[in-house]
Chains A and B, each alone.
Chain A
Amino acid sequence: MDWPALILSLKLAGATTLVLLPVGVILGRLLAFHAFRGKRWVEAAITLPLVLPPTVLGYYLLIALGVASPIGQAWQALTGQTLVFSFSGLLIASVVFNLPFAIQPLQRAFEGVGQDLRHAAWVGGLSPLATFRKVELPLAWPGLLSALVLTFTHTLGEFGVVLMVGGAIPGETRTIAISIYDRVQAFDTAAAGIMSAFLLLSAFLAIAVVYGVGARAVRLRG
């Protein structure tokens, strides 16, 4: 077991989830409750990481965050380090490729709450914030949990984008998924096997949790 790689992966997954939680809630609610021009395009852009080959996404992120790009240059001026092949760059990439995993469950969950319940709360005198706290969140929390679990687990397992943007620098950007590949290349199938089993188990548990929560929520609503 490549412990530094596992710890790095857990760190990256935790940070990604933390960043995407507010982003997912804000964008998921916006898409669920508001109609606006170009909404389909926004939804398509958010879904893109699901269908795009990770190497393609990684390539564009590499260009966008690279030393020659405005973002990369600004980052270098600010911190003195390059954004690509660093943990920070990896985090940005990770946030981007996890957008659909965070936003879609939340959007569906808020859509499930429906406009009528929000309207009923407003007419009853509840402020938008109180409506969010007392009505929207208690009904949408299974979606919130799904978003958290899916984002976290998906980050643990992502390979293509991480390799493109992060390289495989031990302790900095070599995540567990990349470490598995390295171990296989080195004919160390025992280590690759243990790490693969770990990812398999965590993915399975994550999906089981998401499904279990979904079923519970359905019972609650009757």
Chain B
Amino acid sequence: MGSAPERFACVAEIAETLGAGLRVRLAQAGPIPLDVDLACPPGQLHAIVGPSGAGKTTLLKAIAGLYRPQAGQITSDGMVWFDSAAGTWLAPQARRVGLVFQAYALFPHMSAQANVETSLAAQPRAARAARALALLTQVGLADKAHRRPADLSGGEQQRVALARALARSPDVLLLDEPFAAVDRRTRRRLQQDLATLRESLKIPILLVTHDLDEACALADQMSVLHEGRVLQTGAPDQVMARPASPLVAELLDLNPG
């Protein structure tokens, strides 16, 4: 049981020395407190768990370039996205992040295909439609490409959001509670889809969730976030087996002893 986490720790170390993957260090006292230090190498799925209001979404927004913390550093594959000491701050457009929003944030006035095409603005106009359709086919929605979000089920909307997030060939994939708004059966299927998808994606994936079972089932690494601070990071089974503090145990709803 000890070998898998050790292997991941080793992969993380090598990746970090090469500058590969995502490296996030953030610190600020307010208005939203943040104290985060995490590394996510390519191919790794890293879950961020914690109660609502723990700063999970703020953390994702900082990585995506939608929220600028006071101090810290964010690098992706060695490229500096944010460095407070150097005054570096890349706009979200310059970061190549795929972000699946909690409520998906699909554009309601556009078809599924047009939604995906908005993330292909950098490509020649003629190539966009085919690429968008290919992505929708990949998530199993080729036959519903012309429907608007309102005419799609929750699970289908989620897959459109995923296709749109992947359209830019992102360097990092961020998932903000992507399974929170669908029923249990759909959730299980989408979780399986994600497990399959990550096999083919050689990028860091950050999954924000308050569902521990989901984190344990899908993630290689898990960070417990509370009031903006990462309390513990490790393989999910390790964290569950050996919470670093009574607070972590309480947050993970583990009975002491």
Given known A-B contacts A119-B66, A134-B118, A126 and B93 have beta carbons under 8 A apart? yes
Given known A-B contacts A130-B121, A221-B150, A222-B150, A122 and B109 have beta carbons under 8 A apart? no
**18 interchain pairs (CB within 8 A)?**
A114-B105, A116-B103, A119-B66, A119-B92, A119-B101, A119-B105, A122-B66, A122-B93, A123-B66, A123-B92, A124-B118, A124-B164, A124-B167, A125-B119, A126-B93, A134-B107, A220-B109, A222-B151
A126 to B103, CA, bound (A): 20
Most buried by A among B64, B101, B105: B105
Per-position binary interface string of chain A over residues 82-93, scored 1 when its CB falls under 8 Å from any chain B CB and 0 otherwise:
000000000000
Given known A-B contacts A138-B109, A221-B150, A123 and B121 have beta carbons under 8 A apart? no
Given known A-B contacts A123-B64, A124-B164, A139 and B109 have beta carbons under 8 A apart? yes
A74 to B179, CA, bound (A): 63
Any B CB within 8 A of the CB of A120: yes
CB proximity to B under 8 Å, residues A110-143: 114, 116-117, 119-127, 130, 134-135, 138-139
CB proximity to B under 8 Å, residues A59-94: none
User: Are B97's CB and A123's CB within 8 A?
Assistant: yes
User: Are A120's CB and B105's CB within 8 A?
Assistant: yes
A221 to B167, CA, bound (A): 24
A122 to B66, CA, bound (A): 9
* Whole-angstrom distance between the Cβ of A207 and the nearest chain B Cβ: 25
Per-position binary interface string of chain B over residues 45-87, scored 1 when its CB falls under 8 Å from any chain A CB and 0 otherwise:
0000000000000000100111000000000000000000000
Per-position binary interface string of chain B over residues 142-161, scored 1 when its CB falls under 8 Å from any chain A CB and 0 otherwise:
00000011110000000000
Interface residue SS majority, chain A = helix
Per-position binary interface string of chain B over residues 98-131, scored 1 when its CB falls under 8 Å from any chain A CB and 0 otherwise:
1101010111110000000011011000000000
Q: Which residues of B sit under 8 angstroms from A114, Cβ to Cβ? A: 105
Pick the contact of A120: B101, B121, B122 (CB < 8 A).
B101
List the 8 shortest-distance A-B pairs measured between CB atoms, nearest first.
A222-B150, A124-B119, A116-B105, A120-B105, A122-B92, A123-B99, A123-B92, A221-B108
Any A CB within 8 A of the CB of B181: no
Q: Which residues of A sit under 8 angstroms from B164, Cβ to Cβ? A: 120, 124
Sorting the interface of chain A by its residue count into under 10, 10 to 19, 20 to 34 or 35 or more gives: 20 to 34
If A119-B105, A123-B95 are given as contacts, then 5 extra A-B residue pairs at C-beta distance below 8 Å, sorted by A number, are A119-B92, A120-B99, A122-B92, A125-B119, A221-B108
Q: Which residues of A sit under 8 angstroms from B101, Cβ to Cβ? A: 116, 119-120
User: Are A124's CB and B91's CB within 8 A?
Assistant: no
User: Are A122's CB and B105's CB within 8 A?
Assistant: no
Pick the contact of B107: A117, A125, A127, A130 (CB < 8 A).
A117
Give the nearest-CB partner of A222 in chain B: B150
Any A CB within 8 A of the CB of B168: yes
Q: Which residues of A sit under 8 angstroms from B108, Cβ to Cβ? A: 139, 220-222
A116 to B99, CA, bound (A): 11
Give the nearest-CB partner of B97 in chain A: A123
A156 to B206, CA, bound (A): 57
User: Are A127's CB and B92's CB within 8 A?
Assistant: no
User: Are A121's CB and B109's CB within 8 A?
Assistant: no
* Whole-angstrom distance between the Cβ of A29 and the nearest chain B Cβ: 17
Q: Which residues of A sit under 8 angstroms from B98, Cβ to Cβ? A: 123
Give the nearest-CB partner of B91 in chain A: A122
Q: Which residues of B sit under 8 angstroms from A124, Cβ to Cβ? A: 118-119, 121, 164, 167-168
A130 to B149, CA, bound (A): 21
Q: Which residues of B sit under 8 angstroms from A117, Cβ to Cβ? A: 105, 107
A138 to B148, CA, bound (A): 14
Q: Which residues of A sit under 8 angstroms from B95, Cβ to Cβ? A: 123
* Whole-angstrom distance between the Cβ of B135 and the nearest chain A Cβ: 12
Q: Which residues of B sit under 8 angstroms from A221, Cβ to Cβ? A: 108-109, 150
Given known A-B contacts A116-B105, A220-B109, A125 and B121 have beta carbons under 8 A apart? yes
* Whole-angstrom distance between the Cβ of A114 and the nearest chain B Cβ: 8
Q: Which residues of A sit under 8 angstroms from B92, Cβ to Cβ? A: 119, 122-123
* Whole-angstrom distance between the Cβ of B171 and the nearest chain A Cβ: 12
* Whole-angstrom distance between the Cβ of A156 and the nearest chain B Cβ: 32
* Whole-angstrom distance between the Cβ of A71 and the nearest chain B Cβ: 40
Give the nearest-CB partner of B102 in chain A: A116
